[in-house]
Structure 1
Amino acid sequence: MGDSGLVRSLAATHQAVINVAAPGAEVEASFADAVLDAGPEVFIRTGGVWVHGAGDAITEETPLDAPALVAWREKVDQRALAAPGIRSVLIEPGIVYGHGGGIARLVVGASRTDEGLTLIGDGTQHWATVHVDDLAELYVLALEKAPAGSTFIGVSGVNPTVRELGEAASSRLGLGGRVVAEDPAATVARLGDFGAALLVSQQATGEKARRVLGWAPSRASLVEEIAAGGY
């Protein structure tokens, strides 16, 4: 992704480019610039729901209030969406899970004490989630029919609390569902800006993607995945 010349040449000879990786600000910005310079018919860019900050009814219209970890995204996202002559689309996934991967591994792999499994923060925060296979279907639908300049929040509508996730993991690990809250300041001290982002409480439905694109997420919830041993 960091080879702008290669990206530009490939983008110039293909109808569409889908950017699903997220290696960080510098590489993502140069990648987007190279694609936009090349001018493919379609450019689907991955952002993230975190840019909207905390909220219990987040939509694509919710004002941006990004935590420090992803504050850089707005500039790149808007540059892509405004590109002339390209059908640019922005997908904003929530916490992506499935097949044992993603941030959910932090929940199951957290430290254990005699009192139980340690949570990320106090556990009251909600995470807006999406199964990776459901999300893949959203990208296909966006490629096929999303309008130019449109944004879609990619979440299933299931927004568990971190405590609910931790309790499912604790039960699966033989700890009887017991969990221990972590002071939010300790989470930030341990994980930095990433920890601060994990403390943001978000709830969203992804209704626009269902209504406009006909998206129908159907996979098991993250709580169900953890309880079934998927992690």
Structure 2
Amino acid sequence: MRILLTGGTGYIGSAVLDELVEAGHEVVAVVRSERAADAVEARGATAAIGEATDAAWLAPLLAGVDGAVHAAAPASDAAAFDTAIVDAVIEAFGGTDRRYVHTGGIWAYGAGDALDDDARPDAPALVAWRVPIEERLLEASVSATVIAPGVVYGDERGLVQLVTEAPRDADGRILLIGDGEQHWTWVHVGDLARLYRIALEHDGALGRLIGSDGTPTTVRAVAEAVVAQGGANGVVAEGADASRSRLGAEFAGALLLDQQADGAKVRALGWLPVHGSVIDEVVGREASAA
């Protein structure tokens, strides 16, 4: 398949690019600069330099592909960016069998100990903008899938570093986000990339998919894994209000969500994580750094 990809130099998008190229797909990566073009071409993609939110520029690119993946995550105006991409995809792919995979996020579901992929999201303020965009896409005549990744880790990147590299108190203890008892639903970036490919290759729309490795783990447990490797002297609850003050109210509000998902729907598609748990990642990284 010939696939248009946004975000090909980003954390998730670069992993998706590698996965698609390795599987034999032809990838056209939308980039904004010559430097980014060189980066994606070095990984086996064809670069298209331009502005993805320019409908007139993007339309002929969409017309020339079999499917598209939107994995870009701009630093600002994300709602306007995603709206522009979805508008263009609906216009180009509506009424066809060409497939589109859109990136959502686990936070949009709100708190829950058994999150259902197909449940209507209950998004906190930080990501509430995602919901109407995704709903409009899923209601359109597009063969669309919205992947909501859990907390992505791997390649020494991702939000896990908010725990492993969190500030220490005067006694060398890791300051937990809140009390640290909240579960985060996790997924390794390499496993997530395979899920994107599976969704793209699947015959038909899949609706919403939660990208979860099925092992929700508390923030406290991750921090304690750092302690066990000698990376800190212990852990201590920071408290929700202090975390909001340190990290910002909306961001902390998302990080404080207790979210557990088993990944049953994605497993039914034949997807199985091949990487170990986030604890294995932390232990391995801390051990190698010792």
Measure how far apart 1:99 and its partner are.
Answer: 0.5
Instruction: For residue 21 of structure 1, report the CA deviation from its aligned partner.
Output: 2.3
The aligned counterpart of 1:101 is: 157
| Structure with larger RCO (C-alpha < 8 A, sep 6+) | 1
Task: State the SS of the aligned residue for 2:100.
Answer: strand
Measured after TM superposition, the shift of residue 96 of structure 1 is 0.7
The match for 2:84 is 30
Q: Which moved more, 1:88-97 or 1:110-119?
A: 110-119
Q: Counterpart of 2:219?
A: 162
Question: Which blocks of at least 5 consecutive residues in structure 2 are unaligned?
Answer: 1-51
Give the corresponding residue for 1:136.
193
Q: 1:44-83 maps to which residues of 2 (within 5 A)?
A: 44-83=101-140
Contact 1:42 1:88 in 2 (8 A): yes
After TM superposition, the runs of 4+ consecutive aligned structure 1 residues lying more than 4 A away are: none
Distance 1:21 1:170, change over 3 A: farther
Equivalent of residue 21 in structure 1, options 72, 84, 103: 72
Give runs of aligned pairs for residues 173-184 of structure 1, distance below 5 A.
173-176=230-233, 178-184=234-240
CA distance 1:183–1:30, shift in 2 (3 Å): same
Matched residue type, 2:79: A
Residues 36-75 of structure 1: CA distance to partner in whole angstroms, max 9, x if unpaired? 2222711111111211111101111334211101111111
On the 8 A contact 1:81/1:149 being kept in 2, the answer is no
Cα displacement (A) at 1:171: 3.2
Question: In the alignment, is the contact (CA less than 8 A) between 1:95 and 1:103 conserved in 2?
Answer: yes
Q: Does residue 227 of structure 1 match 2:278?
A: no
For residue 285 of structure 2, give the secondary structure of its aligned residue in structure 1.
Answer: coil
Name the CA shift for 1:28/1:70 in 2 (closer, same or farther; >3 Å): same
Structure 1: how far apart are the matches of 2:242 and 2:72?
A: 29
CA RMSD after TM alignment: 1.8
Q: What SS class does the counterpart of residue 69 from structure 2 fall into? A: strand
How much has 1:137 moved relative to structure 2? 0.7
Query: 2:253 is matched by which residue type in structure 1?
Result: A
- TM-score normalized by structure 2? 0.74
TM-score by length of 1: 0.92
Q: How does 1:80-95 map to 2 (within 5 A)?
A: 80-84=137-141, 86-95=142-151
Which sections of structure 1, spanning at least 5 residues, go unmatched?
none
Task: Quote the Cα distance in structure 1 between the aligned partners of 2:54 and 2:178.
Answer: 38
Letter of the 1:110 counterpart: A
CA contact 2:215–2:262 (8 Å) conserved in 1: yes
